[in-house]
Amino acid sequence: MAGQSTERQPQGCLMSFINFIVRSLMQLLGMGVRSARARVMPADEVFKAYVDKWVSERIAAWLHQTRAEIDAEDAARVLNGEGAHLHVVRRLIYETLIDAKVTFSQRDGKQYLEVEAYMAPRQQNGKQPQILRWRAEREIAWQEIPNDVREHLIRFRQPVTLGYNVPQD
């Protein structure tokens, strides 16, 4: 048995040395796994931030149109997670925004981003307010879609709907 373990050890060392050389060559050529992930992930985060910003700006404008006392710029800050100090605006958003969702879809070879929100204006005279439905859609480039959503669109060939939540403090 001692003879078998000594025979296998040089092969293991040889394979690890070959792996090291292959990985080094791949990194020199820019094909390393870690470097590829490092290049892709920040771009995906940039697109998620871009999509989040567009959605938050639409919802903030609708909040202002639904209730004039909600400042659209402050609401956008709260919806982007930047307005921790804007407690009054956050409370008004929670009172007004009932539900919102974001949908990524493909039609006729193009990609679309849709945001839909339901809001309740302030109650007046004890009457139940009429629920308002807001909707906006825009065409987006394939690269602007976050990687996980893109993968789902490719795999299932159906629109992808995500819930929208107001960021917590």
- Kindly state whether residues 109 and 52 are assigned to the same domain: yes
pTM above 0.85, yes or no: no
- CA separation, residue 86 to residues 78, 89, 148 (Å): 7, 5, 32
- Kindly state whether residues 77 and 144 are assigned to the same domain: yes
Residue 169 placed within a domain: no
Segment 134-148, tens digit of pLDDT: 999 999 998 888 888
* Alpha carbon distance 59, 119 (integer Å): 10
* Alpha carbon distance 67, 134 (integer Å): 13
- Kindly state whether residues 63 and 134 are assigned to the same domain: yes
Question: Confidence class of residue 39 from pLDDT cuts 50, 70 and 90?
Answer: very low
Segment 96-126, tens digit of pLDDT: 999 999 999 999 989 999 999 999 887 766 7
- Kindly state whether residues 151 and 95 are assigned to the same domain: yes
Residue 168 placed within a domain: no
- Kindly state whether residues 149 and 88 are assigned to the same domain: yes
Residue 12 placed within a domain: yes
Q: Ramachandran region of residue 125, left (φ > 0), alpha (ψ -120 to 50) or beta?
A: left
Domain count, the chain: 2
- Kindly state whether residues 81 and 59 are assigned to the same domain: yes
- Kindly state whether residues 56 and 12 are assigned to the same domain: no
